[in-house]
Structure 1
Amino acid sequence: MSLAILALILFVSIFLLVLYGYPVAFTLGGLSLLYAFCFLEPAVLTLLPNRVMGVMENGVLLAVPLFIFMGIMLEKSGLAERMLRTMAELFGRIRGGMAVSVIVVGALLAASTGIVGATVITMGLISLPPMLKRGYPPTVSTGVIAASGTLGQIIPPSVVLVLLGSVLGVSVGKLFKAALIPSLLLVGAYVLYVLILGLLRPKLFPAGSKDNQPWNGAFFKRLLQSLFLPLLLIVAVLGSILAGWASPTEAAAIGAGGAALLTLSQGQLSWQTVKEVCQSTTHLTSMVFMILLGATTFSLVFRELGGDSFLVSLIEQNNLAEYQFLALVMVVVFIAGFFIDFIEIVFIIVPVVTPIFVGYGTDLIWLGILLGINLQTSFLSPPFGFALFYLKGVAPPEVKTVHLYKGIMPFLLIQVLLLVLVLFFPEWLGVR
């Protein structure tokens, strides 16, 4: 049997075992080593330690635990609830103001945490009950929360973009810069949709509250504490990267320290909080790096078996153009997002297709943004979207699964439209 065919069998086997529920990191590394022992020369495995050390010495990846620490620390601070309350006061005078508040707070949390599951769950817990109590239909409430909660996939500083930058071999700072305009456009489109829907179908949204507190000194003090300070932290992190003053890792350290200071300013910083944040950060970081080491082993064995050369020859024989192959990869990534997490997709699928895109001469920054938006869209898509399951887990009993499916559809259309815009007009959006 051709070694290249074995490489494809290895890829499919890993994918099936991951779907079946086996641990991703050990499946990637263990099965790859088994194939190497059985079908390759023993000398091939002497290359593995250098590959592993190359991963461990990659300073960019230090940004991952630091951004995770920043996100979890801000989550523990209770800042999200304060932000939502303040934004509701700010937009409460317009029809659909609370939905707009949820989108804005979701975007700020996404820029602060970059962790989709945490953002969706947090937003679901603090905003879904008040929205339902105010008279928002379950479809509208769940759609707004799920859509805004997944913005962490694309809004920098995103953990997804950090990992994509490492796998694609491109600058994380350039990825952040390229993602800025599309992500702001997406947030603006969400807000615009809610406002237009409020005008066209006012029965869906309760009228703006007339008993809001006046915009006095106390209000602006709350606005400063709950909105301006987190915004200042985000600007400090992103601004230092985009201006070239700090690397993503250095900026992540600024963010982690700033998040701790913000939590202290809210009176929530205690030894127990620090302990819980460090434990959660260590758990998530260990998972990411174990998967990364397994993926490094898989990548080495797959290439030594000739899998990448076989795929290139297969594409050449079928005369696939760049955009045809891109469409194929996007469909595969979209469907895979129904079943496995973004980390597995980044480390299993992306390394296999990257050399082919390099052969095409594809702009890898552009490719990274397309993959990020595609993963976000997949996370929202019925019937298996991860964000929908996260939200259903914390929703009240009266919120049915069908409400989530119906509510998310308009936001999915907005996502697809953005994906098309980035695909065909990257220069307009500053992606290329």
Structure 2
Amino acid sequence: MSPLEIGGLAIAGLLVLIYLGMPIGVAMLAVSFAGVAAIRGEPVSMRMLGAAANNSLREYLYAIVPLFVLMGLLVTVSKVGKDTFDVFQRLLGRITAGLGIATVFANAVFAAITGVSIASATVFSRVAVPEMTRHGYTRKFATGVVAGSSVLGMLIPPSLLMIVYAVLAEESVGRMFLAGVGPGMLLAFAFSVTIFLLARFSPGFVFTGEKESETEDTLGWGALLRKAVPIVFLMVLVLGGLYGGFLNPTEAGAAGALGALAIALLRRSLSWRSFWNLLVETGQITVSVLFLILAATFFSRMLALSGVPRFLAEVMLDGPVGPWGFLVLYLLLIIALGCLIDSISIMLILLPIALPVAEAAGFDLIWFGVLTVVSVEIGLLTPPFGLSVYVIKSAMNDPDLKISDIFRGALPFVGAMIASLGLIVLIPGIATFLARL
């Protein structure tokens, strides 16, 4: 059996094992080990596994993962998310569908602090949805806005998915963060326009009554300023330090985690027990992410040894499909897989195969990474998996709230994301302008 055939069988075996329910990291390690053993022998497979573990996890850069995860968890505990929503509610509450637009911008700012979509979905489902329903919005629309805008957490820097992509593509984390700014602003604008158009042309979808209830100005300007200070402080500390050249990505994560810890302590929202639980949760998330990166590294080396990426590049680029046909098929495959498995797993499975093809096609890998992240995030809103939708359902803990209603509420935002994805494909500078300065 040729190495190419072995590589093809390894990919098929990986899909079968995932379908049977085996954890994705374990499945990737198993097929990679078996593939290298079949091509070069078991001793080589053992040495390659050790080398992959050593080379992929000892880098100083990987300290960024637990630091940003810890910062996100501390920010959630210290109720900065609620403050962010309160600020934008006060600023935008009086315009048409103002609370919906306020939720989008609050999510965008919260994303610039946490970098995790699930944290945004959890926080704003408990903060924004009750407030929106109290002011006359339908629950379907309120949960759909939260689900849709939560995806900004993985696009606007700092972003965990951007870190994973940068590692796999061997790109600069700082450049990947910069590349997410333009598309993140585009998505926030697209979501706001979508909300305004829904309120204008389909008010029954947005409001329970004929008119929107007016937002009361319960928050004075002094209280508004006090709520805004911690938000601005963290954004300046992390993003200002990173893009001002004072901190590298890992140091920015450490500074952000320390700043978030200081805010939580000053607000007395953190006990020793809750802090310990946060540290344990940070460790669990970090270990799972790093284990998946190890598995993906071994998998990509096995594929390179088999020649599968080179073969696919020749077939895709020299055949009738062509570079742009490959890109369309790749993005459609990501969106389809998003209906079944989680974001990081999609990237770890597809990128070792797709990156060599994209590089051979002459695509800008930073632009390609932004397209990948946006496509992956669409999967957070699509059935049957729709992770953000299920997180909102779990956080709301309301037996009368149906999963189908949340999916229907999120559908307009899926359309906005697909339109934004098309714009980024047609105008690469939206993603690459800042990153390539």
- Taking structure 1 as the reference length, the TM-score comes to 0.92
What residue number does 2:107 align with?
A: 106
Distance 1:36 1:197 in 2: 54
Alpha-carbon distance in structure 2 between the residues aligned to 1:8 and 1:237: 43
Write the distance in 2 (CA, Å) between the matches of 1:295 and 1:152: 23
Q: 1:399 is matched by which residue type in structure 2?
A: L
CA-atom RMSD in angstroms: 2.1
Aligned to 2:18: 18
Distance in 1 (CA, whole Å) between partners of 2:395 and 2:272 is 28
Query: Contact 2:6–2:38 (CA<8 Å) still a contact in 1?
Result: no
1:27 equivalent in structure 2: 27
Q: Does 1:6 align with 2:6?
A: yes
Going from structure 1 to structure 2, the CA distance change for 1:139 and 1:330 (only over 3 Å counts) comes to: same
Alpha-carbon shift at residue 285 of structure 1 (Å) = 0.2
Question: Equivalents in 2 of 1:375, 1:428: separation in Å?
Answer: 18
Answer whether contact 2:108 2:153 (CA < 8 A) is retained.
Answer: yes
The CA deviation at 1:288 is: 0.6
How far 1:61 sits from its partner (Å)? 1.9
Match of 1:209 in 2: 214
Q: What do residues 335-371 of structure 1 show as CA deviations (whole Å, max 9, x unaligned)?
A: 1111111111222210121112111221100001111
Q: Which residue of 2 aligns with 1:393?
A: 394
Cα separation, 1, equivalents of 2:44 and 2:187: 46
| Cα shift at 1:192 | 3.0
**Alignment correspondent of 1:167:** 168
Q: State the Cα distance separating 1:211 from its structure 2 match.
A: 4.0
Q: Deviations over 1:232-286 (max 9, x none)?
A: 3123212222233221111111111111111122221321232111011000000
Find out whether 1:192 has 2:197 as its counterpart.
no
Structure 1 residues 19 and 77: CA distance shift in structure 2, 3 A: farther
Contact 1:6-1:305 within 8 A present in 2 as well: yes
Deviation at 1:200, TM superposition (A): 4.3
SS in 1 for 2:363: coil
* Greater relative CO (CA pairs within 8 A, separation 6+): 1
1:336-415 matched pairs, under 5 angstroms? 336-395=337-396, 396-415=398-417
> Structure 1 residues 187, 171: closer, same or farther in 2, change over 3 A?
same
**Partner of 2:429: helix, strand, or coil?**
coil
Task: Please report the TM-score for the alignment, with normalisation by the length of structure 2.
Answer: 0.91
Deviation of the 1:196 alpha carbon: 4.1
SS in 2 for 1:283: helix
How far the C-alpha of 1:21 sits from its partner, in A, is 2.0
Q: Which moved more, 1:201-210 or 1:263-272?
A: 201-210
Asked whether the equivalents of residues 89 and 212 of structure 1 are also in contact (C-alpha less than 8 Å), the reply is yes
Query: Quick one: distance in 2 between partners of 1:129 and 1:341?
Result: 28
Q: Cα distance, 1:199 vs. partner?
A: 4.1
Larger displacement relative to structure 2 (22-31 or 69-78): 22-31
Q: Structure 2: how far apart are the matches of 1:271 and 1:163? A: 31
Cα separation, 2, equivalents of 1:249 and 1:221: 35
Q: Which moved more, 1:84-93 or 1:200-209?
A: 200-209
Report the secondary structure of 1:399's partner residue: coil
Q: After TM superposition, give the deviation of residue 93 of structure 1 in Å.
A: 2.8
Say whether residues 1:181 and 2:186 are aligned partners: no
Partner Cα distance (1:231, 1:324) in 2: 43
Q: Which stretch shows the higher mean deviation, 95-104 or 68-77?
A: 95-104
Paired letter, 2:15? F
Call closer, same or farther: CA 1:180–1:86 in 2, change over 3 Å. closer
Native 8 Å contact 1:94 1:207 kept in 2 = no
Deviation at 1:316, TM superposition (A): 4.8
Which shows bigger deviation, 409-418 or 66-75? 409-418
Aligned identity (percent) is 28
Stretches of structure 1 lacking an aligned partner (at least 5 in a row): none
Residue deviations 1:276-332, cap 9 Å, x none? 110110000000111111222222222222222332333355243211111111111
CA distance in 2, matches of 1:27, 1:221: 55
Q: Distance in 1 between matches of 2:184 and 2:52?
A: 34
> Structure 1's 311 and 199: CA in aligned 2 closer, same or farther, altered over 3 A?
closer
Q: Which moved more, 1:270-279 or 1:96-105?
A: 96-105
Opposite residue 402 of structure 2, the aligned amino acid is K
Aligned positions of 1:27-426 closer than 5 A = 27-45=27-45, 46-201=47-202, 204-205=206-207, 206-209=211-214, 211-213=216-218, 219-316=220-317, 318-395=319-396, 396-426=398-428
Separation in 2 of the partners of 1:380 and 1:283? 25
Runs of 4+ in 1 over 6 A off after TM superposition: none
Please tell me whether the aligned partners of residues 94 and 208 of structure 1 are also in contact (alpha carbons under 8 angstroms). Answer: no
Structure 2 alignment gaps of length 5 or more: none
Instruction: Output the amino acid matched with 2:269.
Output: Q
Q: What amino acid sits opposite 2:270 in the alignment? A: L
Question: What is the rounded CA distance, in whole Å, between the counterparts of 1:259 and 1:221 in structure 2?
Answer: 22
Q: What amino acid sits opposite 2:137 in the alignment?
A: Y
Indicate the SS of the match to 1:136. Answer: coil
Letter in 2 for 1:408: A
Aligned-partner Cα distance in 2 for 1:109–1:235:
13
**Aligned partner letter, 1:192:** V
Shift of 1:378: 1.9
